[in-house]
Amino acid sequence: MSPVHSLIEYLQQLARSGERYIRLDEEAKEILRERIRKGKRSVKAGPRHPPVPKAVDIDPGNSQQTEAPPPKLKAEGESAIEKLASLRKQAETWEPALALSSLRDTMVFATGNPEAELMLVGEAPGYEEERRGQPFVGKAGQKLDQILMAMGFSRENVYISNICKFRPALKNQTTNNRKPTPLEMQACLPFVRAEIEIVRPKCIVALGGTAAEGLLNYENQPVGRMREQWHEFEGIPLRVTYHPSYLLHNDSAVTEKRKVWEDMLSVMEFLEMPISQKQRAFFAEK
Ligand code: URA
């Protein structure tokens, strides 16, 4: 087995046993990025999906096989709805993600308005999302619905997506979930890019540090340091806030709710939405 294959197999083992982070030097990271770029099938990607035929070099003077080119996304159709449906279809069998063997098989795409001004990007589907085939429909999703409602939105007039389109796998997994790894996010990133190109939202909110790191290519940045400022992804202004599940775990902490709310007030101001005095005062100290 080549050193590259050994490294990939070792990382897959770690991911399957629930490990979320690992320190890699720059060279190892570049090797892995290159593999993702090439969409190359790993040695362990066995029977879950039919094998992808490799491109064969037909030069008779050279009998060596060449690598299959990375799969290309093609959003077919006229309208945004048709283009997103075309992406969704391709996501179902997206080889760079499935070849990692650390993600489950069921693809969960996005939901909402294909012409939304606001796009929200979470990390990955969990148990409930996988079961129902929709992003943010579990407890964190209910919290997100409350936040959207307080802003004057509903799920139907924003666009809600995840940076990773498959539920990250764990050993003996039941209802437990884990965050996607940088590799898993990178494998699905072409979809988020394509979705943004189709929806063209006026701004994006990254829900939580994992999604923000995946989108912005940051490493180990706490949300506290990324929020309160505008970033940019694919030329679109992006704001970072805490993941709704953070508020579930800190439900009594009004200060944390206020921080998320201040992030959302910035988004509302940016979108030039009307903001009432009552809205401005949500979760503020009396
Ligand atoms: N958390 C996420 O980041 N995305 C979901 O779809 C559900 C929970």
**CATH number of domain containing 160:** 3.40.470.10
38 part of a folded domain = no
Range of the domain at 113: 80-280
Please choose, from the candidates 21, 23, 275, 215, the residue with its C-alpha nearest in 3D space to the C-alpha of residue 226.
215
Dist CA 73 CA 85 (whole Å)? 12
Atom of ligand 1 nearest to the CA of 128: 7
Amino acid making up residue 220: N
Q: Which residues of the chain have pLDDT under 70?
A: 1-68, 250-252, 286
6 part of a folded domain = no
Dist CA 163 CA 140 (whole Å)? 16
Which pLDDT score is estimated for 255?
92
Distance of CA 108 to the CA centre of its chain: 11
How far apart are the CA of 167 and the centre of ligand 1, in A? 9
* Burial (0-12, 13-18, 19+ Cβ within 10 Å), 112: buried
Give the position of tokens 């650390």: 102
Q: Which of 103, 109, 111, 129 to mutate to test the pocket of ligand 1 (most atoms within 8 A of CB)?
A: 129
Percent over 90 (pLDDT), the chain: 72
β-strand pairing of 118-122 with 236-241: unpaired
Which pLDDT score is estimated for 285?
78
Q: Which of 128, 142, 148, 245 to mutate to test the pocket of ligand 1 (most atoms within 8 A of CB)?
A: 245
Which pLDDT score is estimated for 24?
59
63 part of a folded domain = no
Which pLDDT score is estimated for 71?
85
The pTM of the full predicted model, rounded to 2 decimals, is 0.78
18 part of a folded domain = no
Q: Which of 106, 137, 162, 163 to mutate to test the pocket of ligand 1 (most atoms within 8 A of CB)?
A: 162
How far apart are the CA of 272 and the centre of ligand 1, in A? 27
72 part of a folded domain = no
Q: What is the DSSP annotation of the chain?
A: --HHHHHHHHHHHHHHTT-------HHHHHHHHHHHHHTPPPTT--TTSPPPPPPB---TT---B-PPPPP-----SSSHHHHHHHHHHHHHT-HHHHTTS-EEEEE---EE-TT-SEEEEES---HHHHHHTSSS-SHHHHHHHHHHHHHT--GGGSEEEESS-EEEP-TT-SS---PPPHHHHHHHHHHHHHHHHHH--SEEEEESHHHHHHHHT-SS--HHHHSSS-EEETTEEEEEE--HHHHHHTTT-HHHHHHHHHHHHHHHHHTT----HHHHTTT---
Structure tokens at 200: 């063209």
User: How many degrees, rounded to 5, is the angle at CA 157 between CA 281 and CA 86?
Assistant: 145
Dist CA 224 CA 281 (whole Å)? 21
170 part of a folded domain = yes
Which pLDDT score is estimated for 34?
65
How far apart are the CA of 27 and the centre of ligand 1, in A? 31
70 part of a folded domain = no
135 lines ligand 1 (CB under 6 A): yes
How far apart are the CA of 200 and the centre of ligand 1, in A? 22
Please choose, from the candidates 223, 246, 244, the residue with its C-alpha nearest in 3D space to the C-alpha of residue 147.
244
Which pLDDT score is estimated for 21?
55
128 lines ligand 1 (CB under 6 A): no
Distance of CA 77 to the CA centre of its chain: 24
Number of domains the chain is built from: 1
Structure tokens at 64: 């060596």
Which pLDDT score is estimated for 50?
36
Q: 240 - beta bridge partners?
A: 206
Which pLDDT score is estimated for 55?
38
How far apart are the CA of 159 and the centre of ligand 1, in A? 13
252 part of a folded domain = yes
129 lines ligand 1 (CB under 6 A): yes
Atom of ligand 1 nearest to the CA of 122: 3
Neighbouring C-beta atoms of residue 98, cutoff 10 Å? 22
How far apart are the CA of 134 and the centre of ligand 1, in A? 9
Which pLDDT score is estimated for 49?
37
Which pLDDT score is estimated for 254?
92
